[in-house]
């Protein structure tokens, strides 16, 4: 985030309705791409992916009552390559991962390092049949070979900007 003098410039890039519409589209794409799975495990990456995952789970449940939706939060700090915290654990049963189609959900995809840590966090619990990634905003600047399967919006950014999901009234803003 770049500070100009004492000011931070902010620009809204998605309002509440646009975010909701994106999540509705993603929930349809999940079912279309995964061809009516019997069971899905959604993992909201802490901390801003949690509420998005909850909304996607509700939408999937509404539109696909025959699909069982497991929903958990995933804390990836134990496997981060920067600020690693060894004592972090996840309360996710092995049964929710083993042989399941797992969908990681996060607000922003940037370098990809959080998702790399998420993959290690999931593998520590069990062996998924398949792991997919859904993000609200892909802002580019990847540092690892990671790409999302479901994207709310691609937002080209400069490296020193910061995209943030503001959870109070649920809007995505770009700060520069």
Ligand X SMILES: O=c1cc[nH]c(=O)[nH]1
- Residue 45: name its binding partner from ligand PRP, ligand X, none (Cβ under 5 to 8 Å by kind): ligand PRP
Q: Kindly tell me the burial class for residue 170, based on how many C-beta atoms sit within 10 Å of its own C-beta (0-12, 13-18, 19 or more).
A: middle
The residue among 69 and 118 lying less far from ligand PRP, judged by its C-beta, is: 118
Dihedral class, residue 140 (left if φ above 0, else alpha if ψ from -120 to 50, else beta): left
CB under 6 A: which stretch of 56-64, 107-115, 125-133, 150-158 binds ligand PRP? 107-115
Among 111, 170, 171, 176, binds ligand PRP (CB under 6 A): 111
Least distance from ligand PRP to the Cβ atom of residue 68, Å: 26
What letter would DSSP give residue 38?
A: S
Binding to ligand PRP by residue 106, rule CB under 6 A? yes
Among 109, 122, 155, 174, binds ligand PRP (CB under 6 A): 109
What letter would DSSP give residue 175?
A: E
Binding to ligand PRP by residue 48, rule CB under 6 A? yes
Residue 113 structure tokens: 């390092």
In the chain, which residue ranges form alpha helices assigned H by DSSP?
16-34, 49-63, 113-125
Sole residue written with tokens 């009234």: 169
CB under 6 A: which stretch of 33-41, 58-66, 87-95, 103-111 binds ligand PRP? 103-111
Binding to ligand PRP by residue 161, rule CB under 6 A? no
The residue among 9 and 167 lying less far from ligand PRP, judged by its C-beta, is: 167
Report how many residues bind ligand PRP under the rule CB under 6 A: 12
Using DSSP's 3-state secondary structure scheme, residue 60 falls into helix
Q: How far apart are CA 45 and CA 165, in angstroms?
A: 13
Residues at the interface with ligand PRP (CB under 6 A): 45, 47-48, 106-114
């Amino acid at each position: 985030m770049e500070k100009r003098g004492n000011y931070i410039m902010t620009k809204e890039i998605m309002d509440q309705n646009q975010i909701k519409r994106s999540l509705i589209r993603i929930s349809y794409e999940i079912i279309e791409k995964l061809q009516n799975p019997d069971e899905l495990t959604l993992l909201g990456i802490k901390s801003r992916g949690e509420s998005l995952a909850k909304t996607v789970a509700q939408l999937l449940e509404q539109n696909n009552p025959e699909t069982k939706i497991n929903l958990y939060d995933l804390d990836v700090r134990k496997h981060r390559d920067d600020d690693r915290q060894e004592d972090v654990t996840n309360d996710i049963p092995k049964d929710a991962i083993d042989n399941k189609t797992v969908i990681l959900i996060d607000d922003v995809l940037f370098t990809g390092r959080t998702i790399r840590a998420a993959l290690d966090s999931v593998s520590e619990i069990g062996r998924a049949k398949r792991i997919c990634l859904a993000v609200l905003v892909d802002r580019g600047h990847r540092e690892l070979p990671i790409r999302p399967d479901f994207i709310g919006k691609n937002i080209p950014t400069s490296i020193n900007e910061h995209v943030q999901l503001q959870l109070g009234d649920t809007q995505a803003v770009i700060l520069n």
